[in-house]
Every structure is written in C-alpha cells, then in structure tokens.
Amino acid sequence: MANEFMADRVTSLKASAIREIFKMVGQSDIISLAGGNPSAEIFPKEILASLAEKILREEGTTALQYGVTEGYAPLRAKVKKDLKDKGILHDTDDALITSGGQQLIDLCAKTLINDGDVVAVEAPSFIGGLNCFRSYNGKLIGIDMEDDGMNLDRLEALAKKEKIKLVYTIPTFQNPTGITMSLEKRKRLLEMASIYDFYILEDNPYGALRFSGADIQTIKSMDDSGRVIYAGSFSKVISPGLRVGFGAARADIFDRMVVCKQVQDVHTPCLNQMLVNKFIEEYDFDAHIKKSIDMYKEKCAKMISCMDEYFPSFCTHTVPEGGIFLWCSLSGDYDTKKIMAECIEKKVAFVPGATAMVDIDKPCNQFRLNYSTPTLSDIEKGIFIISEVLKNVGK
C-alpha cells in the first residue's frame, strides 16, 4: 500500500463530498440548494466592522496576544450564564469556547473514542460529525430517523447487542433532515444512556432558529447523570466565518477537552471571541436572531409550497419547524447522486443523501435541500428544475 506510512485513522477518510460540491458550485451560475450556510444577508457587517475597529484600537493587545485555552473570559462568562439560565450547565459541569461547533465534536471524539468504539449516529447525520468520528477510528452505526427523531427501538436493540460508547444526535432541526426529536424520545434516550452506559453528544447549532411549534427542552438540561456533552455555536446566529462555538460537559470531560484544544489550536482567536462578546453585549441579540427566523420561515414556506406544487408524488419531504434544511425521499430505487449530476447540468445543486450516511457508497434515494441561502425566486426556479428532472427519472 502506497500510504502505509499513514496513521490508520486517516487512510480511508474522504473529504466531505458536500465541500467538494461547494467548490464546484461557488464558481458558476448554479442555483445552490446544497449549502449549509446561514444567509449572508443577515450578517451584521457594519456593526462588526465598527466593533472590530474599536476592539483593535482600544484593546488591541488583548485581541492580538495569546489568550487562554478555555476562552476569552467575558464571552465565556456570558455563555456560561446563558447555559445556566437554560438549565444546560449544571454545577458539576464546565463550559469552554471552541473554534466553531465542529471543534467541540472533535474534542469530544478525541476525549471519548478509542479505536473501534461504537458511535451510534442518526442515519442520515451531519457529515462533519460522521467524518470526525471516523477520524478517531470510531465504529459508526447508523440508526434510522423517524418523524420524531432517531428510532430508539433500533438503538435499544443495538445497545443490547453491542457496547455503545457514544450516541451522536442533533435533536433540534437536524442536519440534514430538519427533524426535531420529541420530548418523549429525549427522555427515553437519556434513560437508555444510564441503563446501557453510554454518553450522548447533543449537537445544537440550529436550536435558536425555531420558526414554528413550541420549544422542546434540550437533552442536556434534563440530564442528571453527567452523560450529555453539549455543543453550541454562533455560526448560524452571527457568522460561521468567525469560527466561534462553545460546549459544556461534566468537569472531568471538560478538563480533557481543554487539554486537547490546547494542542489543537491553543485557543480560539481572541479578536473573534471579543467581536461576538461585544455584539451580544451592545446589540439586541434576540432581535438579530429574529431576523433570521423570519427570513428562514418565509423561505422554508416558499420551498415547501413549490415542492407541493411541482414535485412528482413519489417525492415526499419533511416539514421542519426551524433550522435551515429539509429532507426529500423518493419512493423507489433511485440514486440521488446520479440525479444530482443531472440537476447540476441544469444548474441546480443539492446534497445527495448518501453523503450523510454511514455507508456513503450505497445508493440512496434521499437528498437534502437548504433554504437559508437561495433567494425566494431561486428557490422557485431550483425546485422547478429538480422536479422536471425527477419527473423524467420517474418515467
């Protein structure tokens, strides 16, 4: 083998197919329903421009010098207070600032996953999470999704058969399905964690973006056992490019995550943390988030009405109550990778479902659509073009 000098953990890793699609999409006139980005229209550019200028002029040394691994103290204090207010941060926990929510997943995996440890994941799930567990030689096992979240009967059957180390879930407005796990399932998942002795990584980057229905408690806020690690992010509510996320975990796990972060990037850039901190401090953060919610509500409704109008009947979709994605399923033996290739020729892109599965090479008859980035008119055009391609392959 040519690459036998490489570590086992990386030999079979593949670059995120989604990011490869992005590279293609970014340089053309393609309507992208493939993104996972928040809408750039909502970025508070002018405000952040003024804040950055002020921070660097008045507190330049703090912004530009080395900082503390755990996070910039004022931002960390705000995050901890907010997590405490929401019942997420328990007295036995601690919280840190990370370089995006992605880093929290990595630190959690590095801290908990030994070679071959079973990581049960929603099928489909977030490719950045899946690849991360793969990169620590976790043994991924996919658990199918139902309308109210992960199929817990399947999970329990697995737990009875194999030792599960970690369950990775995005319970609220899941990526890629847009599905939200019911309160009943959240409670049962927690109970199962104690019974079968596993940990839960609750990844919640979209939770603030609810545009219909009622909030459901986070799993972590109901956890008395210290088994839930929580990941949050400012990526979808302020800016993903700044790479500022956060996480909370039981103190002993937190402690190991901090050491792992120290050797990974020393600390999250100070300027970026200070920008987020000042933005929250000086502006109406809730009002800012409300802008995204209103926009995504409108765009999601538009996408759904277009799908209901144009899509052939063998294509069904989820109806998210928030977040930025929805998920389409074709009844029948289709391969959405091939369908995507046809759509791209007609200048529309989406994410084929296989990329979000444990077995990415198995043909998959599902696909992900994003409504946060395209304009209303591109949503209509894009859905129309996809529906034409679908009708054709469905013949």
CB of 197 to a second copy, least distance (A): 8
Q: Considering only the stretches 124-132, 156-164, 320-328, 358-366, report the one whose residues sit in contact with a second copy under the rule CB under 8 A.
A: 124-132
Q: How far apart are CA 370 and CA 212, in angstroms?
A: 17
Residue number, 370 or 387, with CB nearest to a second copy: 370
User: Which parts of 160-199 interact with a second copy (CB under 8 A)?
Assistant: 165, 199
CB of 310 to a second copy, least distance (A): 29
CB of 5 to a second copy, least distance (A): 7
Q: Do 329 and 315 contact (CB within 8 A), yes or no?
A: yes
CB of 333 to a second copy, least distance (A): 31
Burial class (CB in 10 A: 0-12, 13-18, 19+), 312: middle
Q: Do 114 and 138 contact (CB within 8 A), yes or no?
A: no
User: Which parts of 27-46 interact with a second copy (CB under 8 A)?
Assistant: 36-37, 40, 43, 45-46
> Does 200 participate in binding a second copy (rule CB under 8 A)?
no
Side by side, the strands of the sheet bearing 315-317 are 315-317, 325-330, 366-370, 351-352
Q: Is 169 helix (H, G, I), strand (E, B) or coil?
A: strand
Count of chain residues binding a second copy (CB under 8 A): 82
Q: Considering only the stretches 131-139, 153-161, 174-182, 294-302, report the one whose residues sit in contact with a second copy under the rule CB under 8 A.
A: 131-139
Q: How far apart are CA 388 and CA 82, in angstroms?
A: 47
How large is the C-alpha radius of gyration of the chain?
Answer: 21
Q: How many CA atoms lie within 13 A of 167 on its CB side?
A: 35
Q: Considering only the stretches 60-68, 283-291, 314-322, 374-382, report the one whose residues sit in contact with a second copy under the rule CB under 8 A.
A: 60-68
CB of 326 to a second copy, least distance (A): 20
Amino acid at 179: I
Q: Give the 3-state DSSP-derived string for 3-15, with helices as H, strands as E and coil as C.
A: CCCCCHHHHCCCC
**Per-residue contact track with a second copy, 8 to 27, x per CB under 8 A?**
xxx--xxxx--x---x----
Q: How far apart are CA 34 and CA 27, in angstroms?
A: 14
User: Which parts of 308-337 interact with a second copy (CB under 8 A)?
Assistant: none
CB of 17 to a second copy, least distance (A): 11
Q: How far apart are CA 359 and CA 337, in angstroms?
A: 14
Residue number, 218 or 373, with CB nearest to a second copy: 373
Q: How far apart are CA 252 and CA 107, in angstroms?
A: 13
Residue from 265, 286, 308, 345 that binds a second copy (CB under 8 A)?
265
Q: Considering only the stretches 59-67, 169-177, 342-350, 362-370, report the one whose residues sit in contact with a second copy under the rule CB under 8 A.
A: 59-67
CB of 257 to a second copy, least distance (A): 9
Residue number, 37 or 375, with CB nearest to a second copy: 37
- What angle in degrees, to the nearest 10, is found between the helix axes of 336-345 and 376-393? 120
- Taking the alpha carbons of 359, 365, 371, 376 in that order, is the dihedral positive or negative? positive
> Does 289 participate in binding a second copy (rule CB under 8 A)?
no
Residue from 186, 210, 220, 267 that binds a second copy (CB under 8 A)?
267
